[in-house]
């Protein structure tokens, strides 16, 4: 009996301890980067002063929230997405049109091509938060030039057998790696990839890529039989000397990760092909949000000069600002030469073809 009494007592205390969380803004964002997490902790403190409770609900992958929004339930007020996750939500009609309500969009850099997300028209359903530029991070001396061509990569792989790899598609870093190779292999005709797969002879255009990969894979880490599961994992392999290169979508990572002790000093940044495939990552508000007004206020804050500048600091997150450059004290480092992403239909096509051949 004492046992049962003890349990009821426990249940009762828990009942009273049940926290009431009414006016919170639930921000679902990937939690895999300590720097991003610390940045959002700072934002939390700043917003508290404005009377907004921001809650960073960390997820291992943004697609977890997308899955819930499409097939289940979610209390998300803001989500951090781009690419395929955006497509899926747009298709499901799960996002609110918010672009017209966000005043900070007036300050967005005009050079930022944010109206299309991985080739899919944004249509006001999300607003840009930061810039992604696909780049290679390598140990010093691996590649002679800033821009690495497909040929140069193959040469480096020949000279350093088993020490080069890329994240496994459909990880979007891996797929972008393939796209960059295509750009390098067809450097004169890159407009082709702006068109839908169905309107060009995709098989013909990708033939050189598969031919190239057939040559490259035997020279890769574990003879191309296995690949790093993610870009984060590949960074770890670069850090512990297994690999000589990694890939990143953050053009400042080659500095930021060194500053945080994740990579050894001296690593270099390169583009694969002449230009970096450039994307943005976005914030969006789901239709199901109960707290959309507060969520918009949070987005205004995250797009403010102050928040964007802090975000770009390479001693912190190091994610480039999306705002117009101001004359005074512009510390944000120069971006890479950008090039547009492929039309959205290529994503699925490349993933399918890659996995049919190499998986």
Partner 1 sequence: MVRALSIAVWLLLIILPVGSGVLFLLLTSLDAKTGVSLAAFSELLLGYESILSSFALAVVAPFVACYLALLMAPGILRKPRLQQLLSPLLSIPHVAFAVGLMLLMSPSGWLVRLVEAISGLFPVPPASWPLPEKFLVTVIIVLTLKELPFLLLMISAQLKQLPVKSWLVQAQSYGYSERQAWWRIVTPELLRRMTLPMAAVIIYSLSVVDIPLLVGSNTPAVLAQRVYEWTFQFAANSQIKAMTGAWVLLVMALLLLLMNSKHSVLYRRLVLGKRAVTPGRLNSDKASRYAWGFLGFLSFGVITVLALQSLASSWFYPNLWPAALSPERWQTEWSYLLEPTVHSFWLALLSAITGTIAAMVLLQRQRQKAVKSFYWPVLIALLIPQVPLVLGWQRVLGQQLTEGWQLWWVFWSHAVYTLPYAYLVLHGAYTSFNEQWLIRAQSLGYSARAAWWRVMLPMLKQPVAIAFAVAFSVSIAQYLPTQWLGQGATPTLTTEAVSVASGGDWRIGSLYALLQMLLPLLVFIAVGGIRKGSYAEHS
Which residues would be at the binding site for partner 1 (CB under 8 A)? Answer: 7, 10-11, 14, 18-21, 26, 28, 30-34, 37-38, 41, 55, 57-61, 63-64, 66-68, 70-76, 84-85, 87-88, 91, 161-163, 168, 170, 222, 225-227, 229-230, 232-237, 239-242, 261-262, 264, 290, 348, 358-359
Minimal distance, residue 348 CB to partner 1, in Å: 6
CB 271 within 8 A of CB 135: yes
In sequence order, the β-bridge partners of residue 282 are 81, 128
CB 288 within 8 A of CB 354: no
Minimal distance, residue 191 CB to partner 1, in Å: 26
Cβ distance to partner 1 smaller for residue 106 or 359: 359
Total Cβ atoms within 10 A of residue 253: 25
Which of these, 66, 58, 64, 55, lies nearest to 25 by C-alpha position? 55
Minimal distance, residue 292 CB to partner 1, in Å: 15
Which of these, 103, 226, 86, 219, lies nearest to 167 by C-alpha position? 226
Minimal distance, residue 225 CB to partner 1, in Å: 6
Total Cβ atoms within 10 A of residue 349: 18
120's enclosing H/E stretch is strand 120-121
Cβ distance to partner 1 smaller for residue 83 or 128: 83
Cβ distance to partner 1 smaller for residue 128 or 169: 169
Task: Tell me whether strands 147-148 and 268-272 are parallel, antiparallel or unpaired.
Answer: parallel
Minimal distance, residue 179 CB to partner 1, in Å: 18
Minimal distance, residue 294 CB to partner 1, in Å: 15
Tokens of 275: 């230009």
Residue 208 burial (CB < 10 Å; 0-12/13-18/19+)? middle
CB 98 within 8 A of CB 124: yes
Given phi > 0 = left and psi -120 to 50 = alpha, else beta, which region is 220?
beta
Tokens of 193: 């990839």
Minimal distance, residue 41 CB to partner 1, in Å: 7
Q: What 3-state DSSP class applies to 108?
A: strand
CB 148 within 8 A of CB 271: yes
Handedness of CA 97, 102, 107, 108 (dihedral sign): negative
Minimal distance, residue 85 CB to partner 1, in Å: 8
Cβ distance to partner 1 smaller for residue 143 or 349: 349
Cβ distance to partner 1 smaller for residue 38 or 333: 38
């Amino acid at each position: 009996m004492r046992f049962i009494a003890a349990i009821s007592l426990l249940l009762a205390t828990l009942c009273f301890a049940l926290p009431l969380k009414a006016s919170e803004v639930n921000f679902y964002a990937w939690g895999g980067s300590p720097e991003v997490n610390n940045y959002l902790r700072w934002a939390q403190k700043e917003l508290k002063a404005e009377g907004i409770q921001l809650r960073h609900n960390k997820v291992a992958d943004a697609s977890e929230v997308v899955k819930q929004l499409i097939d289940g339930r979610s209390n998300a007020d803001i989500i951090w997405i781009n690419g395929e996750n955006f497509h899926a939500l747009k298709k499901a009609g799960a996002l609110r049109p918010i672009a017209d309500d966000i005043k900070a969009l007036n300050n967005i850099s005009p050079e930022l091509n944010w109206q299309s997300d991985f080739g899919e028209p944004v249509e006001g359903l999300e607003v840009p938060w930061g810039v992604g530029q696909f780049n290679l991070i390598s140990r010093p001396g691996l590649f002679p030039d800033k821009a690495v061509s497909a040929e140069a990569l193959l040469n480096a792989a020949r000279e350093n057998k088993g020490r080069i790899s890329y994240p496994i598609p459909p990880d979007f870093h891996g797929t972008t790696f393939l796209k960059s190779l295509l750009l390098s292999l067809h450097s004169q005709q890159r407009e082709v990839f702006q068109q839908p797969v169905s309107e060009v002879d995709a098989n013909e255009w990708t033939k050189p890529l598969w031919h190239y990969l057939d040559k490259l894979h035997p020279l890769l880490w574990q003879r191309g039989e296995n690949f790093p599961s993610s870009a984060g994992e590949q960074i770890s392999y670069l850090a512990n000397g297994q690999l000589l290169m990694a890939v990143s979508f953050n053009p400042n990572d080659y500095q930021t990760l060194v500053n945080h002790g994740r990579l050894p000093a001296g690593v270099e940044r390169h583009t694969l092909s002449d230009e970096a495939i450039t994307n943005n990552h976005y914030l969006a508000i789901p239709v199901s949000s109960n707290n959309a007004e507060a969520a918009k206020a949070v987005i205004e804050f995250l797009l403010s000069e102050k928040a964007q500048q802090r975000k770009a600091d390479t001693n912190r997150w190091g994610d480039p600002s999306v705002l117009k450059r101001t004359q005074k004290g512009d510390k944000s480092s120069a971006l890479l030469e950008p090039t547009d992403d492929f039309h959205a239909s290529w994503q699925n096509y490349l993933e399918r073809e890659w996995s049919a051949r190499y998986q």
